[in-house]
Structure 1
Amino acid sequence: MAENGEGASLGARIRGFGPVARKTLKQIGPVRLVVTALFLALGLLFAKYSWNIMLARDAERALYDVRALLASPHVETDPRIVMVTFNEETLRLTGRRSPLDRAMLARALTQLDQMKPKAIGIDILIDQPTPEDQQLIDAFRGMKTPTYLGLATNKTNSAFMTYEQEMFLRDFQKQTRPGNVHFTSIRLAADQDGVMRSWPDQPRELPPLMANSLTQGFPEYRDHQGSIRYRLPVNYERPVFDKLPVELIANPDLLEAFRGQIEGKYILIGGNIPDVDQFTTPASRMKDPATGRVGETTIGLEIHATLLAQMLDHFMFKAIPNWGLWLIAIGVVLLGALTAVGNMKIWKLSLLLIVQLAAVAVVPFVWQFNGVDTQGLPVFGWLIGWIFAYSAVGTAARGIGSEQRNFAASALGKYLPGDIAKDIMKNPERLQLHGEKRDIIAVFSDLEGFTKLSHQIEPEMVALLLNRYLDLLSETVLAHGGTLDKFVGDAIVAFWGAPISRPDDADRAVKCAIAMYEAGEKFRAEAPEGVPPIGVTRVGCHRGEAIVGNFGGEGRIQYTALGDSMNTAARLEGANKYLKTKTLVSDTVVEKSTLGYFRPMGRIAVSGRSTPMIIYEPVPDFSLEAVQQFTDTLRRFDDGDMTALAEFEQMAVTNPDDKALANLIKRLHEVGPGGYSALDK
């Protein structure tokens, strides 16, 4: 049963994902969705194919060269391979630069054959006649050691080998028969940037590469095109491969002296001449310890020796399969996208970015050090792909978040003033379920006779009028910085002082109360034709303590205020009907207000309060002198000066439309000095 329940729950979650996904896609919008998808696709292509993209390819090569150089093993001088070279000293002694002195080559071959090496490879093109050709042919004919003469063809190397030169070389080799001389390919091909990083391809129209020819036992290297494993010397005074000048090897007096260095070894013969057959390698990026120069090149003969050593070591870098590169590229893009939408604190995000960057930087080195071929590994492409994905998804997420915040701010803006709504958006913890005691100014408004009116007109008209009225008064509350608490039919409850309090909250509330009455009058005047007369809007305003916060449980919350201050504001609104006033505020509001246009309207006792309260009516049309005179007159009456009542009566004669004043005079007659009126509401 538990398993079934879990399965059902999982199925429900999966089914619920569809609407969420559709909602998210709708929020993204078609244009942003297309742009995001395009950038993700570009990021994926960079993460997979950066070795094939201009500029990015240069960065990838540079990063690989650093990895290859640092991972290169440091070795002692290789005891299996010896290079015999024509160098600058040889050229000086022979007076020949090109073609090389074949007589000296012939003498060296004869001497080498007597020293019994394993095999000899010659990286010299015999592509034109010289007077010493017969000496070299005779030497070749007498060779017992397997000897391999370099071959280049016009088809595979037209820039350096003409058809005629090729034909001369082939004919020359035929003349060495029945000797032990065979052709071998000496073709080396650098990358487009001129750096030798990989084994050259071996076209079938060419014989095997020199390393393949010399060993004759490693067929798997015939088509190998992985990276070259270069080696570095442990001590730069002892190179990886010994280089012996050809003039020393050609000297018969030194045959026994060099026998130990030649016997049983692979011998490679070629040029070691500056600016001739030179190649750039990954090591060219470092400073040469011998010369102190950066960018030192390597002779082609040493490249052949390196390939031969790698073959003899049976070493091949492990290739990463194409599907593996795709998986890594997809993973990198997904990682960037997930990082962008992760809602993390800045320190966690910073830590995650550092970890990811470290992984991108370290993993290729770990692989290279462990024999994985990282040439073709798009490390720079990973960074670019990650950035594309992070930027694209982050921009889309911020767009969605902005729309959601705008929607939330708009929703909050229907109940809260703009500045408070923005503060809550910045500080969502304000919406936590808790209450706090705050000093607030509560405002309660009511539209006289609307319930009776609603029975006299069509329901559609009731809805139209009520919505228009509530919109009008809600805008008034928000415009004055108030928080809308609730609608009770046609009544509106609002307050100031929470969730944010301001020094002028009392002034804002009073001005809003006056504006709500005026908005109500405008609503009455603009009522549609045929609608019975609409009553006046009455407003009550009181300041006191209340418990303010979100109430209603986790599922449905409402930001509201609870307490006697809310009830008192409602009682003051109701008192307007009996006192013939439009707006009433309590003495606690007047104490906090800086406005000077409040005229006292005596004392009243309302339901729910044990003591009478002094009430005031805001009269912004009165001058300060008139308000002061009215206040002084009422105070004199409370002190027992009955002439004050006569002065009020004279005011009423002068202002016959002031019904609130007439009602005050009537109540003063009833309660006497210092008395109060009891309102049963």
Structure 2
Amino acid sequence: MARSQNPANPTQAGRDVKEEARGVLQSLRRLFDQLGPIRLGSTILFLVLALLMARFSWSTPLIQDAERALYDMRASVFAPEVEKEDRIVMVVYNEDTLKLTGQRSPVDRTILAQALETIDAAKPKSIGIDILFTMPQDDDALLVSVFKQIQTPTYLAYADPKYNPEIGFAEHEFLAAFLSEVEGENLKPTSIRLNTDSDGVQRRWTPEKSDTPPFMAMALTKPNPKFSANEGAIRYLVPSTSDMPVFDKFPIESFADPATAEMLQSFIADKHVLIGGDFIDRDRFETPIGSITDLQSEDGKMIGLEVHAHMLAQLLNDDMPAIIPNWTLWAAAIIVAICGGLSALIMGNAAKVAGLLIGQFAFFLVFPFILHQIGVDTLSLPAFGWGLGWLFGYASVSAAARTINSKQRAFAQNALGKYLPKSIAGEILRDPEKLALHGEKREIFAVFTDLEGFTKLSHAIEPEMVATLLNDYLDRLSEVALEYGGTIDKFVGDALVCFWGAPLALPDDGERAAKAAYALYQAGEDFRKNVPEGVPAIGRTRVGMHYGDAIVGNFGGEGRIQYTALGDAMNTAARLEAANKALETKVLVSKEAMERTNLDWYRPMGKITLRGRSTPVEVFEPVPDWEKKDREAVTAVIAAHKQGDIGYIQALGAMLKSSKEDLGLANLLKRLEKTKNGESYALG
């Protein structure tokens, strides 16, 4: 029989939940401590701003202009193309009509009455008249008679001064009385008000008011439940060919003229007829598609009658774009802000990160066009707001992350700095793998220093003063080494050990190392000239520099890591530093190092055999304050000595007379006198 398993321990599960909750709280507390209240508050504020921008960009000043421009682009690119919308015909008063009738405002009503008789006889589906009758005329009786006899369902323009401030009280009173007189079974009032956006562009339907007649496009067609709210974007049509407009447009006088009236009846039979004005100075609207649909317009604007025609065509096509619910826009805004914030935390390959960021921006740009093409109303879609919200989310979290990283980096570098040079600490922070315990063979410029007589001095003064002087001295030398890009290996008492070429090798390592070597000597001179009163005289700082192979890396075991260099380059540099004492020089540079510094400020100091080393070393001393001819003179002496010509040594003696304090040059003269044919001088 199988043994049943024990059920999970509920007490242990409760402890686990508490531990996880405690861990989360501790993480949040660390986050708060690292950011601080001001930075944390600003980060949250920017994230809230990112959310609001991604949601309300259509109603935010300045930003809404960008949203409108992007929408107009979408509306133009994906506007439905038609050869001709032959269910709707426009009959218009135009400038020629005004010249013919000699009457501009109000328009001639006799010509309207005559045209209506012709149009009504052609039996169209409906007639919509976008003309307001706001003042009496002599020919009103004729027009009223035609209206009362009309057989076609006809809708006459109405405007309420509450929503149309351009209509005065007296004008409205006459309009209401006129409509009351002519209203009947086949003639009803209709609202013609068009609402533009604040930039003057007609993009959207005008919401119907409960206290006004039905909107013209609604009145001319059968009720359509999808359009009952009368909201959303107008779907403008564009012509498929540039030589044909979307809607036929006829001058009204053509229908009033018996010579052409009968012929034109076939163009309006069984169609919706819209009658209105086509004037250059009024009732014209900017649209998202410019002048694409109105080939006769030179200013890119569309007459109000044609706007009504496009809305009527949209109703007839049952083309109601899907409205995006508010909750969807809120959800999208939250996702955008979160994506922006999370994107700031992406780490890894720069190309992949850049590709991911570019991909998100491409999505914000392309996705609204896709939605528009598949029939979604993008009039309220915050496309630009998404991009801006993402950017604010990215910036806020990025700034917070930089703050945290900076503090963590400072903490880590400070901790590592107790064991490693700052340059190495920085390398490890960038690439933690470099902390592994291993070494590699590198060619480096090694530099050793030593302060002459400091050990003896330390026995002559108080320990506190020794510590003060030593710290000051080593600080000065460290600053010099770091200034020239050196890696500080270690301090050995009053000696500084540093090198160039690891962990990073640069083309000018030799030049910087040589300049640092001489600057270390100068820093020592400044130090000994500024010691406190009562402190015995301090000797010179001696420097040795060599170029060669070394094993560079982390050594010391898991408990105590030291980044250091080992090998011949280090040993030779140390012996060169010590050789300064015997040669009475300040800075000694080996030939191997000198040839790689690209500097011409050296004088040769002969060939020497260092203690513990069998191979002789040609050494040089930097003398940047010497003239070129003097350096060449010493070089000529050394070359002559190699050839066994001791006559040149006298020239060196002559130079000493003009520089009696040059101990190094005097020492060179003595060594040359004791050797011949360029042989090495062995140091005891």
TM value normalised by structure 2: 0.68
1:560-575 equivalences under 5 Å are: 560-567=564-571
Tell me how far 1:349 sits from its aligned partner.
7.2
Pick aligned residue for 2:376 from 372, 379, 401: 372
Equivalence for 1:193: 199
**Superimposed CA distance per residue, residues 272-293 of structure 1 (whole angstroms, 9 cap, x where no aligned partner):** 33236532242663467844x6
Q: Which has the larger radius of gyration?
A: 1
Secondary structure at the aligned position of 1:375 is classed as helix
- Gaps spanning 5+ residues in structure 1: where? 636-660, 669-673
Matches of 2:475 and 2:387, distance apart in 1:
53
> Partner amino acid for 1:319?
I
Secondary structure at the aligned position of 2:106 is classed as coil
Residues 185 and 112 of structure 1: CA distance in aligned 2, closer, same or farther (over 3 Å):
same
Check conservation: 2:610, 2:682, Cα contact below 8 A.
yes
Secondary structure at the aligned position of 2:161 is classed as coil
> Partner amino acid for 2:234?
I
**Superimposed CA distance per residue, residues 160-189 of structure 1 (whole angstroms, 9 cap, x where no aligned partner):** x22222222222333336543222112222
Report the identity percentage: 37
Matches of 1:616 and 1:300, distance apart in 2:
96
Would you say 1:275 and 2:273 are equivalent positions? no
Tell me how far 1:229 sits from its aligned partner.
0.8
> Partner amino acid for 2:193?
R
Matches of 1:371 and 1:220, distance apart in 2:
14
**Superimposed CA distance per residue, residues 67-102 of structure 1 (whole angstroms, 9 cap, x where no aligned partner):** 212211112333433334344555555554443444
Check conservation: 2:448, 2:495, Cα contact below 8 A.
no
**Superimposed CA distance per residue, residues 365-398 of structure 1 (whole angstroms, 9 cap, x where no aligned partner):** 2222222222243444555556666677777878
Equivalence for 2:182: 176
Matches of 2:512 and 2:266, distance apart in 1:
104
1:129-528 equivalences under 5 Å are: 129-159=136-166, 161-176=167-182, 179-249=185-255, 261-263=267-269, 265-275=270-280, 278-282=283-287, 285-286=290-291, 290-291=295-296, 294-329=298-333, 355=359, 358-382=362-386, 435-438=440-443, 440-443=445-448, 445=450, 467-468=471-472, 470-471=474-475, 474-475=478-479, 483-488=487-492, 492-495=496-499, 503=510
Would you say 1:75 and 2:82 are equivalent positions? yes
Tell me how far 1:440 sits from its aligned partner.
4.0
Check conservation: 1:415, 1:485, Cα contact below 8 A.
no
Secondary structure at the aligned position of 2:272 is classed as strand
Matches of 1:619 and 1:251, distance apart in 2:
111
Residues 450 and 16 of structure 1: CA distance in aligned 2, closer, same or farther (over 3 Å):
farther
Matches of 2:244 and 2:583, distance apart in 1:
113
Secondary structure at the aligned position of 2:378 is classed as coil
- Structural RMSD (CA): 6.3
**Superimposed CA distance per residue, residues 274-319 of structure 1 (whole angstroms, 9 cap, x where no aligned partner):** 236532242663467844x642433322222222221222222223
> Partner amino acid for 2:550?
I
Equivalence for 2:554: 551
Residues 509 and 305 of structure 1: CA distance in aligned 2, closer, same or farther (over 3 Å):
closer
1:75-94 equivalences under 5 Å are: 75-88=82-95, 90-91=97-98, 94=101
Matches of 1:68 and 1:225, distance apart in 2:
16
**Superimposed CA distance per residue, residues 451-472 of structure 1 (whole angstroms, 9 cap, x where no aligned partner):** 9989x988x8886676456445
Residues 518 and 197 of structure 1: CA distance in aligned 2, closer, same or farther (over 3 Å):
closer
Count of residue pairs brought into register by the alignment? 632
> Partner amino acid for 1:278?
D
**Superimposed CA distance per residue, residues 216-254 of structure 1 (whole angstroms, 9 cap, x where no aligned partner):** 422443432211111122345543333344455457898
Matches of 2:102 and 2:526, distance apart in 1:
112
Tell me how far 1:200 sits from its aligned partner.
1.1
Worse-matched range after superposition: 277-286 or 186-195: 277-286
Matches of 2:465 and 2:415, distance apart in 1:
26
Secondary structure at the aligned position of 2:134 is classed as coil
TM value normalised by structure 1: 0.68
Would you say 1:119 and 2:123 are equivalent positions? no
- Gaps spanning 5+ residues in structure 2: where? 1-7, 624-629, 643-666
**Superimposed CA distance per residue, residues 553-580 of structure 1 (whole angstroms, 9 cap, x where no aligned partner):** 9988643210245456667889999x99
Check conservation: 2:128, 2:220, Cα contact below 8 A.
yes
Residues 463 and 240 of structure 1: CA distance in aligned 2, closer, same or farther (over 3 Å):
same
Matches of 1:480 and 1:79, distance apart in 2:
83
Check conservation: 2:510, 2:593, Cα contact below 8 A.
no
Worse-matched range after superposition: 363-372 or 253-262: 253-262
**Superimposed CA distance per residue, residues 44-69 of structure 1 (whole angstroms, 9 cap, x where no aligned partner):** 65554444444544443333223212
Matches of 2:324 and 2:307, distance apart in 1:
25
Check conservation: 1:453, 1:534, Cα contact below 8 A.
no
